[in-house]
Structure 1
Amino acid sequence: MDTEAVRSFVRAAELGQLQHAADELGVTQQAVSKRIAALERELEIRLFTRTARGVELTLDGQAFLPHARSIVTGVERAITAIRPNSRALRIDVLGFRSGQAVILHDYWRSHPGTDLDVVTLRAADPQVAVAAIQAGDIDASFRTITDPAALPRDVRMVHVLDFPLEFLAGPRHPLAAARTLTPAQLRGHRIWVPGIAPRCEWGVFYDQLATELDLRIDGAGPNFGVEVVLDTLADSADVATLVGNRDRLVWPAGYDLRRIPVVNPTIAYPLSLLFRATDPPPGLRGIIDYFRSLATLPEPVWRPFWTRRSAA
């Protein structure tokens, strides 16, 4: 089996676009298409269906994906085994459009000599990231363990940045014309955050946010991706959501969505970095310092309990 074809399949599955996979792999879209077509012929199944947005996995493709990831990981480990210290610094982010990925990209652009491999584990449970760090699959992860008792001694967690959240709504929402909003003004309005998974850090965050600030957080429905959320907001007069101020969101001009800062207090989502406690990769220090050098938030600020507890 052609391992480059398997690698192309994995990246296309994770990114949902053949062109994006080609850009990451440094080849043409036609090359990626040919590799995947050859893989489908060898397996005698269809791995993808094409949609208006790109490609989606078939049921067979979904079944093959975790095994394909194992193949790619095995090849990478084999190469690493014969090239000591050759692997790039591998950091897990929640998503390539997330604010953490945006800032990490800014760091990489300002430090062009940094050998960086940015990945996403596609797992809501932060313990998956902990296990990947312990196994050496990744060097660090922008995840948070909200219960310090659940953090193993061989993994360290440091707080690196607070993201202020913004209110995102369509033009027909009753708060759409506001320049800023307070949490008190959000009370009673439906804030839709679909697909909040058990044991995820943002589930803990939104539970506490709803309780302490008396907000209506609606986690109903599966998460079909940010595009579906944006589509829904554009057509709705009563649904809104909260997004990080650094999250990279793009929507059609006709949607006329509004990103409105939340103040008095600013709602802060704390960002932490997990990495091995002993002998961490030296390149992490510069990344941590870069994140911590960014502007602090104007007071007053609301933060969840684990940041208050670990403020020292």
Structure 2
Amino acid sequence: MDLEAVRTFVAAADSGQFREAAAELAVTQQAVSKRIAALERALGVRLFTRTARGAELTIDGQAFLPHARELLRVAERAETSVRTGRRPLRVDIIASRGAASGLMRGFHRAHPEIELDVVMLFSIETAVAAIRSGEIDASFRAVTAPGRPLPEGIAAARVLDEELELLTGPRHVLAGARSVTLGELAGHRIWMPGIVPGTEWAAYYDDLVAEFGLTIEATGPNFGSDALLDTVADTPALATFMGGRTRLVWPESHGLRRIPVTDPKPVYPHSLLWRRDNTHPALDTLRSYLATATAGQDTAGTWTPGWANAR
């Protein structure tokens, strides 16, 4: 259906005059008449009766009017959903239970007036392409490993260093420890089936393994966090790493332990990526919120890969 004809019909119905509808729409009265006539042909009914006082709706016109208004409202919502500056702020996070998700929930609570879309893209290449095209406004990433610099026009700011914790089952030899050093983890099996070669998190854990002689296994299919927790709970020889701000829920019977890792404390470097010329009015508000929400982080005694620190 021709939305311009529908818009013309609504304007004429509201004013009762084709001449006033033409003035409102900045078209000629002849254009209004032609649009209404085309709409009547498409619908197969008369919508107006011409009178000495102007144009009055027929019974069919009265029946069509509320639906015409709804068509225009739907069209406006559709346009707003994709127009930068009018559509919601679109932000990419890697996982729904990770630190970035928590930061965005905090942002939404602090700024409920800002419409927000949260999407989950897998690779940094996909995220950067979506930022460059304007499909999304920002993405939480660990930036990239050496040799893969950010494209021109893309900005990045470190917003959060998330401490890693060791997650074990109740029968693991380290289950009773109040904390564990990276040196003490050498020789223990750490299972992380979610590590995918070529991703920024794979680059992070590759450097962690190389520097501290750890054994991280990414074998087997990744059935998600619930299956990972079940396996760790039932296997005394297995442990896994998880972010200190990751929100997970498991049955009390699992008896899982979250143990701080120290000496040094490994932290995962979350950055926010955006296009420098992005004009979405809420993007600066998000950046200001993140700067405040994560201010005052103590980096003493922490470890991140050299490429992350260089950023």
Same fold by TM-score greater than 0.5: yes
TM-superposition CA deviations, 1:249-289 (whole Å, max 9, x none): 10011111111111121101000111112234342233233
- 1:82 is displaced (CA, Å) by 8.4
Match runs of 1:26-175 below 5 Å: 79-80=79-80, 85-121=85-121, 123=122, 125-143=123-141, 144-147=143-146, 149-175=148-174
Q: What amino acid sits opposite 2:179 in the alignment?
A: T
Give the Cα–Cα distance (whole angstroms) in 1 for the partners of residues 132 and 211 of structure 2: 35
Q: What amino acid sits opposite 2:101 in the alignment?
A: A
**Which structure would you say has the larger Rg?**
2
Q: Check whether the contact 1:161–1:292 (CA below 8 A) recurs between aligned residues.
A: no
Q: Check whether the contact 1:195–1:220 (CA below 8 A) recurs between aligned residues.
A: no
User: Could you say what the CA RMSD is over the residues aligned between the two structures, in angstroms?
Assistant: 2.2
- 2:35 equivalent in structure 1: none
- 1:193 equivalent in structure 2: 192
Any gaps of 5 or more consecutive residues in structure 2? 1-74
Q: Check whether the contact 2:162–2:245 (CA below 8 A) recurs between aligned residues.
A: yes
Q: Check whether the contact 2:232–2:238 (CA below 8 A) recurs between aligned residues.
A: yes
- 1:207 is displaced (CA, Å) by 0.4
Q: What amino acid sits opposite 1:153 in the alignment?
A: E
SS of the residue aligned with 1:109? helix
Give the Cα–Cα distance (whole angstroms) in 2 for the partners of residues 198 and 105 of structure 1: 29
Give the Cα–Cα distance (whole angstroms) in 2 for the partners of residues 258 and 134 of structure 1: 42
Residue 307, structure 1, aligned to residue 308, structure 2: yes
Match runs of 1:210-225 below 5 Å: 210-225=209-224
Residue 277, structure 1, aligned to residue 304, structure 2: no
Kindly report structure 1 stretches of 4+ aligned residues shifted beyond 4 Å. Answer: 75-78, 81-84
TM-score relative to the length of structure 1: 0.70
Query: Structure 1's 114 and 165: CA in aligned 2 closer, same or farther, altered over 3 A?
Result: same
TM-superposition CA deviations, 1:172-209 (whole Å, max 9, x none): 00001011111111111111111422210010000000
Residue 297, structure 1, aligned to residue 298, structure 2: yes
Any gaps of 5 or more consecutive residues in structure 1? 1-74
Give the Cα–Cα distance (whole angstroms) in 2 for the partners of residues 81 and 107 of structure 1: 20
TM-score relative to the length of structure 2: 0.70
- 1:127 is displaced (CA, Å) by 0.6
- 1:110 is displaced (CA, Å) by 1.9
TM-superposition CA deviations, 1:131-187 (whole Å, max 9, x none): 111122111111222236531102222211100000111100000101111111111
Q: Check whether the contact 2:84–2:279 (CA below 8 A) recurs between aligned residues.
A: no
Q: How many residues align?
A: 234
Give the Cα–Cα distance (whole angstroms) in 2 for the partners of residues 227 and 83 of structure 1: 38
Q: Check whether the contact 1:164–1:297 (CA below 8 A) recurs between aligned residues.
A: no
Give the Cα–Cα distance (whole angstroms) in 1 for the partners of residues 237 and 259 of structure 2: 15
Percentage of identical aligned residues: 44
